[in-house]
Amino acid sequence: MEFEDRFRHQAQRPKYDCLLFDLDDTLYPLKSGLANACLQNIKDYMVEKLGIDPRKIDDLSNLLYKNYGTTMAGLRAIGYDFDYDEYHSFVHGRLPYENLKPDPVLRNLLLSLPYRKLIFTNADKVHAVKALNRLGLEDCFEGIICFETLNPIHKSTVSDDEDDIEFVGSRSTISTTSNATDTSQIFDIIDHFAQPNPSGVLPKTPIICKPSENAIDLALKIANLNPQRTLFFEDSTRNILAGKLVGLHTVRVGTSQRCKGADYALESIHNLREAVPELWEADTKPEVAYPGKLAVETPVTA
Digitized pLDDT (tens) for each residue of the chain, 302 residues in all: 555 555 454 556 789 999 999 999 999 999 999 999 999 999 999 999 999 999 999 999 999 999 999 999 999 999 999 999 999 999 999 999 999 999 999 999 999 999 999 999 999 999 999 999 999 999 999 999 999 999 999 987 775 443 333 322 222 333 333 435 667 799 999 999 999 988 888 999 999 999 999 999 999 999 999 999 999 999 999 999 999 999 999 999 999 999 999 999 999 999 999 999 999 986 445 444 444 445 555 443 32
- The pLDDT of residue 184 is 75
- The pLDDT of residue 4 is 53
- The pLDDT of residue 286 is 45
Q: In what order do the strands lie in the sheet with 116-120?
A: 143-145, 116-120, 18-21, 230-234, 249-253, 264-266
Burial of 212 (0-12, 13-18, 19+ CB in 10 A): buried
Protein fold of 18-151+203-283: Rossmann fold (3.40.50)
Over the Cα atoms of the chain, what is R_g?
21
Sequence ranges of the domains in the chain: 18-151+203-283
CB atoms closer than 10 angstroms to residue 54: 11
Q: Are strands 249-253 and 116-120 parallel, antiparallel or unpaired?
A: unpaired
